[in-house]
Amino acid sequence: MSSNNEQLDKITNQEYKYGFESQVESDTIPPGLDENVIKEISRRKGEPEFMLKWRLNAYSKWLTMEQPSWAHLNLQPIDFQAISYFSSPKSAKEKPKNLDEVDPEILDTYKKLGIPLKEQERLQGIVAVDAVFDSVSVATTYKDKLAEVGVIFCSISEAMREYPELVEKYLGSVVPPTDNFFASMNSAVFTDGSFVYVPPGVRCPMELSTYFRINATNTGQFERTLIIADEGSYVSYLEGCTAPQRDENQLHAAVVEIIAHKDAQVKYATVQNWYPGDENGVGGIYNFVTKRGLCKGENSKISWTQVETGSAITWKYPSVILKGDNSVGTFHSVAMTNNLQQADTGTKMIHLGKNTQSTIISKGISAGKSSNAYRGLVRVAKGATNARNYSQCDSLLIGDKCGAHTFPYIDVQNTTSQVEHEATTSKIGEDQIFYCMQRGLSEEDAVSMIVNGYCKEVLQNLPMEFAVEAQNLLTLSLEGTVG
């Protein structure tokens, strides 16, 4: 089937369209990691004393840890001393007071990425954006409007200065500094990220969003996001990421913590499109992320939705700890890998409270020579009576050189719970394509339609603006991959 091979070639030759590099003068700490670097980061950010202590404590713990090797990944050793742990655009030294003062080059970068920071743009009134450029947050839109209802949405550095009591109370309460190798490292060196606090009973009037961009060379991005939804509140949050095209691997080790109090609901969506490396697997981002939500109060609800198309290596498991009775956790994921990309992703649902429920829908699509693994844990503790879990993970293989793996862990410790796991692996059926073509669709459109249908369950959980982007991303990555 030579036409298929041609089409496969076409996709491998496809360029990463966010691979440009912006000419922004940046202020970067020289590579290397020791206590002084951490003190310097803390000093530059003007952090309160407790933060420095917290960071140093995490650093000393990190020194005793070893990089884990259990993931189904082929990973080159990382030289942690060759990474620069802080980089900020020079112009951001004096924090701009409003958008007009932001470096036009940076605004331009975001414009190229399709993320309008100017408030009057087409997403007016719908989405508030926090833009993180390398290590610092450069702009947060719609702050005033959010403040009217009491929602705090700002960079985490700002939160540490303005609301230290909230940060001290919640930071590290879901992902402790000793949690794992990369979380520990993040705790020591994290530079910025977003902070959200929604007061009791408030329904956040707009979608909140962060856009992460790695620009400088040899830097790692270590951001930390903290979302707190107080009693009876609601917030929907989305996150997007891109990086320029480079030959060396860059490290991105982030931590996201979510706390949902009684009756609160948090929706967290990610469209991850870091630079995946070229067709020979050169370059790309190492995306090692710890994301965890805590359903602290009764009837709370946390949902993760992710569309993972970028990064050379993705290693992340957005999890939910269902501590409150009747709490609900959901995880919807589409992970698409191509060329030599590797993904080991999934979720953890830890049922502690009574009548807790969780749903896991994971859709993996592998093409080229990529490898895509689902790894998930469903744990039902002894006291979690009447817990209910449903997991479904499907893999779709496009081409015969790729791999799809499923590693579910199901630990059940009581009798009244019901845990179900189902998984299938398949390719797009020739009969399905034939059926579509018979009705006048081209082969490519047929594949695109089938794949989008395959992912529909997940995509429909994304906020509307992202759903369109995600669909386009998938269609783009899938062009010509008729198998």
Partner 1 sequence: MAIQSKFDYKTHYNTVFQRFIKENHCPLLDFRKRAFEHFEQHGFPNKRVEDWRFTSCYEIAEKPFLCPKDSTTLTKKEIEPFLFENIDTIQLVLINGHYRPELSTQIDEQNISISSISKLCEAHDTRLEKIGTLVSAEENVFAALNASFFRDGFFIEVKQNAKIDKPIHIINIDADKDENSHNAVRHFISVAKNAELKIVESYHSHNSAPDALINVACELEVADGANVEYISIQQADETHHCFTNINANVAENGQLITNLLDFGSKLVRHTQNIVLDGANAHAKSCGTYIGHQRRQIDHYLYMDHAVGECSSEQLFRGVLTDKAKAVFRGRVVVRPDSQNTDASQSSKALLLSDDAQSHNLPQLEIYADDVRCSHGATVGELDKSSLFYLQSRGISEERAKQILTVAFAEEVVDHITIEPVRQKVYALIDQNLSKDLS
* Binding residues for partner 1 (CB under 8 A): 70, 72, 382, 395, 397-427, 483
Distance CA 177, CA 186 (A): 8
Output the six-digit token pair for 236. 């929907």
Rounded to a whole number of angstroms, the minimum distance from the CB of residue 136 to partner 1 is 39
Residue 265's Cβ-count burial label (10 Å; 0-12, 13-18, 19+) is: buried
DSSP label of 248: S
The rounded distance, in Å, linking the Cα atoms of 479 and 430 is: 17
Closer residue to partner 1, CB minimum distance, 188 or 404:
404
Specify whether the CB–CB gap between 233 and 262 falls below 8 A: no
**CB neighbour list of residue 147: distance below 8 Å, 6 or more residues apart:** none
**Cβ contacts of 201 within 8 Å, gap of 6 or more:** 231, 232, 233
**Distance in Å, CB of 382 to partner 1, minimum:** 6
Supply the minimum distance, in Å, between the C-beta of residue 377 and partner 1: 10
- In angstroms, give the least distance from the CB of 401 to partner 1: 7
| Residue 392: CB minimum distance to partner 1, A | 10
Name the pairing type of β-strands 255-260 and 234-242. Answer: unpaired
How far is the C-alpha of 423 from the C-alpha of 166, rounded, in Å?
41
Question: How many CA atoms lie less than 13 Å away from 294 in the CB half-sphere?
Answer: 17
- Work out the number of other CB atoms within 10 angstroms of the CB of residue 34: 10
Least Cβ distance, residue 255 to partner 1 (angstroms): 24
Rounded CA separation 380/377 (Å): 10
| In the complex, minimum distance from the CB of residue 444 to partner 1, in angstroms, rounded to a whole number | 18
Identity of the residue, 70 or 440, whose beta carbon is nearer to partner 1 in the bound complex:
70
Question: What's the rounded Cα separation, in Å, for the pair 279 and 283?
Answer: 10
What are residue 141's DSSP bridge partners? none
Nearer to partner 1, 299 or 417 (CB): 417
Summarize the chain as % helix, strand, coil (round to 5). Answer: 25, 35, 40
Name the 3-class secondary structure at 106. helix
Task: Give the nearer residue to partner 1 in terms of CB position, either 303 or 448.
Answer: 448
Q: Which is nearer to partner 1, 5 or 424 (CB)?
A: 424
Which residues, in sequence order, are CB contacts of 64 under 8 Å at separation 6+? Answer: none
- Nearest CB to partner 1, comparing residues 302 and 387: 387
- In the bound complex, what is the minimum distance in angstroms from residue 406's beta carbon to partner 1? 4
From the CB of 407, what's the least distance to partner 1, in Å? Answer: 5
Nearer to partner 1, 188 or 402 (CB): 402
- Give 270 or 395: the residue with its C-beta nearer to partner 1: 395
User: Nearer to partner 1 by C-beta: 56 or 423?
Assistant: 423
Shorter beta-carbon distance to partner 1: residue 67 or 413: 413
Contact 422/394 with Cβ under 8 angstroms?
A: no
One-letter amino acid at 99 equals L
CB of 367 to partner 1, least distance (A): 10
- Minimum distance, C-beta of residue 391 to partner 1, in the bound complex (Å): 9
Write the DSSP symbol of residue 25.
-
Residue with Cβ nearer partner 1 (105 or 444): 444
Angle ∠(344,350,352) on CA atoms, nearest 5: 175
98 vs 416 by CB, closer to partner 1 = 416
Smallest distance from partner 1 to CB 175, Å = 21
Q: Where are the alpha helices (DSSP H) in 131-205?
A: 143-148, 156-162, 164-170, 181-189
Q: Residues in the chain, how many?
A: 483
